[in-house]
Amino acid sequence: MASVGPERKTGTFSSSIEPQSRKTTFYLFSCAIVHEILVIQLFVTGKELWGHIDGSDPAPTDATKLGEWKIKDAQVMTWILGSIDPLIVLNLRPYKTAKAMWDYLQKVYNQDNSARRFQLEYEIANYSQGGLSIHDYFSGFQNLWAEFTDIVYAKIPTESLSLIQAVHEQSKRDQFLMKLRSNFEQVFALT
C-alpha cells in the first residue's frame, strides 16, 4: 500500500522504569514528538496546505468553497493524527481543525527555548569524555553544541551574527578541550 502521509514511528512509554531513567525517557519521548511535529510541518508544506495549519488559509464563508476547504483540512488532520504517537491522539479529539490541533501540539510539546537553553548549558557544562572514545565524545559534544547555538543564534540580528559565532567557536573549542581525559593534555598545549 502506498504511503499517503508522513511515515509514522511509534515507540513505547513505560512507567515501570527507574526514577532517573523516567526523566530521560520522558525527555526522549518529548524529543520524538518535536521530531514528529517537524516531519508533519515539512510534509504539509510540501503538499501546499500549510495555510490550514498557520491560519493563512482560513475557512471561507462561501458554502461551496467551504466544503472543499473542509476536505483539505480533514486531510491535514488525518496526516497529523497518523504521524503522532497513539498516546497523544486522544488529546487531540476536542480539536476540530488542523490549526487547532497544531496549536495544541505546539503549546504542549514545543519546549520553551529559555528552559531548553538552560538545560543545554547545564548538559554542556557537565559533559565530559569519561569512558567515551574520542569519536563518541566529539559527536555527543557537537550535537549538544549545535542545538545550543541554534537556540542562541535565532534571536541575534544578522549583522551581529558573525561576531557572536566567532566568540562561540572559541568557547566551543575550550569547552571541548577542558573535558577531555588527562591523557590528552598535550592537545591543550597545541591550542
* Same domain, yes or no: 126 and 186: yes
* 14 assigned to some structural domain: no
Going by C-beta distance under 8 Å and a sequence separation of 6 or more, which residues neighbour residue 33?
84, 85, 88, 105, 109
Do 130 and 99 share a structural domain?
no
H-run or E-run covering 174: helix 158-178
Q: Is it the case that residue 50 has pLDDT exceeding 50?
A: yes
Q: Is 146 exposed, middle or buried (0-12, 13-18, 19+ CB in 10 A)?
A: exposed
Residue 66 included in any domain: yes
Q: What is the pLDDT of residue 21?
A: 39
**Cα(54)–Cα(98) distance, integer angstroms:** 9
- pLDDT digit string (tens) for 67-106? 999 999 999 999 888 888 787 888 888 999 999 998 888 7
Last residue of a domain, one of 58, 79, 109: 109
What pLDDT was estimated at residue 88? 80
Could you read off the pLDDT of 146-179 as tens digits, one per residue? 888 887 887 778 888 888 888 888 888 888 887 7
- Tens digits of per-residue pLDDT, 105-148? 877 766 567 777 888 889 988 888 888 888 898 898 888 888 88
Residue 2 lies in a domain: no
pLDDT recorded at residue 17: 35
Number of domains in the chain: 2
Q: Quick one: 91 and 121 in the same domain?
A: no
Q: Domain containing 176: what range?
A: 113-190
Q: What percent of the chain has pLDDT over 90?
A: 17
Residue 1 has pLDDT above 80, yes or no: no
- Please check the confidence at residue 2 and state whether its pLDDT lies above 60: no
Residue where a domain terminates, one of 109, 124, 147: 109
